[in-house]
Amino acid sequence: MQQHQQHRQPELAEGNLPVFVFPTELVFYADEQSSHKQVLTLYNPYEFALKFKVLCTAPNKYTVVDSTGAVKPQCCVDIVIRHRDVRPCHYGVYDKFRLQVSEQSQRKALGRKEVTATLRPSASQEPPSLRAQDEERRIKEQFADSEFFEQTAFQTESRPVAGGPSLLTVLLGLVCMIALMLPTLGEQESTVPVYLHLSVNKKLVAAYVLGLLTMVILRT
């Protein structure tokens, strides 16, 4: 264990710790009130707790909930971001959020992840050519140097990433089990209707999916 920590610590000190955030792009639409509120989810897959801080290139345009806080090991936190200035003069402007993480016992940032944010007039009036141009601009903005500022912090508790298998996972597993119990295509001595007979390939797929679901359930 001590040897493992000695190998890990220099890597963390260099600030190369991968930061897992979803999504990596925020798109707000001026004519859709529901889109003015977006959620960033910060994941901590590591065995140690992380502190985080959210910075922004245009803090006056946004309200950020949970701009600072902590994430327990193998947990995640939702960071709510609201766009509060949807005037036409901000259409097409790319802003950036930077999420910095560090260990609880350290001040130096161990890793960071940047997320772009842009305001558009309307989702329904957006031609494909404009989307291609926006994607090119977004990529350029990601690699451009920017000045970041702190946001006001509002604290909430972190929540576990997974507390057990979901209902959808269980139902899908039951479907796969039923599929494996059905007769194979070509069996003659069966009271099950012919249209419920499955081919060998379909049963192999069901067995494969059931195996994956079993692994997911065991990990949760």
Domain with residue 53: its CATH number is: 2.60.40.10
Query: 171 and 119: one domain?
Result: no
Query: 47 and 115: one domain?
Result: yes
> How many other CB atoms sit within 10 Å of the CB of residue 33?
9
Query: CA 95 to CA 121: how far, in whole Å?
Result: 16
Query: 52 and 108: one domain?
Result: yes
| pLDDT one digit per residue (tens) for the chain, 220 residues | 444 444 444 445 456 889 999 999 999 999 999 999 999 999 999 999 999 999 999 999 999 988 899 999 999 999 999 999 999 999 989 999 999 999 887 778 889 999 999 999 988 766 555 555 555 555 555 555 556 556 554 444 445 555 566 777 778 888 888 888 888 887 777 777 877 788 888 878 888 787 877 776 666 5
User: Does residue 133 sit within a domain?
Assistant: no
What burial letters (b/e) apply to 102-133, b meaning 16+ CB within 10 Å? bbeeeeebbbbbbbbbbbbeeeeeeeeeeeee
User: Does residue 172 sit within a domain?
Assistant: yes
User: pLDDT at position 39, please?
Assistant: 94
Query: 45 and 119: one domain?
Result: yes
Query: CA 162 to CA 74: how far, in whole Å?
Result: 9
Number of folded domains that form the chain: 2
User: Does residue 140 sit within a domain?
Assistant: no
Query: 94 and 173: one domain?
Result: no
Asked whether the whole model's pTM tops 0.85, one would answer: no
For residue 172, what are the domain limits?
A: 166-180+199-219
User: pLDDT at position 184, please?
Assistant: 83
Query: 33 and 84: one domain?
Result: yes
User: Does residue 155 sit within a domain?
Assistant: no
User: Does residue 186 sit within a domain?
Assistant: no
Tokens in use for 186? 């070509």
User: Does residue 53 sit within a domain?
Assistant: yes
User: Does residue 4 sit within a domain?
Assistant: no
User: Does residue 194 sit within a domain?
Assistant: no
